Amino acid sequence: MALKAGDQAPDFTLPSDQNNPVSLKDFRGKKVILYFYPKDNTPGCTREACDFRDSLAQFSNQNTVVLGISKDNPERHQKFKQKYVLPFTLLADENGDVCEAYGIINKKSLFGRTFLGIQRSTFLIDEKGIIRAIWRKVKVQGHTKQVLDELNQC
């Protein structure tokens, strides 16, 4: 059954870009923007990460942290963070368990080839670990503003 607003966010522990374990429950008492993206250093993912970077002060002012998750490994995340000066944590879900728990693995096709991949998705999680909003099949253009607008209503 797909997650929906009002559901408890599935907890997890994943290695960060610094190869330290990070758990969702570590952020109780803060809101969390949990965004899933396909791959470091690709055009759409870079734009999305930079948009979150450029809006981070607005998120921080609302007691909100941003966490990015993809299947890339911690070393690749670290290089991506350094290259684009990303001031938030990237998490490595190399085996896809967290992606599965959040229901964001979907069939994709590229150049006539079909495969399973991460569907760009964002979850707004409140201070108690409850999902308040979900964006699936995210279009990067304007997405950060959508998230900020929703956050302003919480």
Catalytic residues: 45
* DSSP-based three-state secondary structure for 32: strand
β-partners of residue 14 are: 22
Q: Is the C-alpha dihedral spanning 86, 80, 144, 116 positive or negative?
A: negative
Where does residue 82 rank: exposed (0-12), middle (13-18), buried (19+ CB within 10 A)? exposed
What are the C-alpha distances in Å from 103 to residues 13, 26, 59, 132?
17, 22, 25, 16
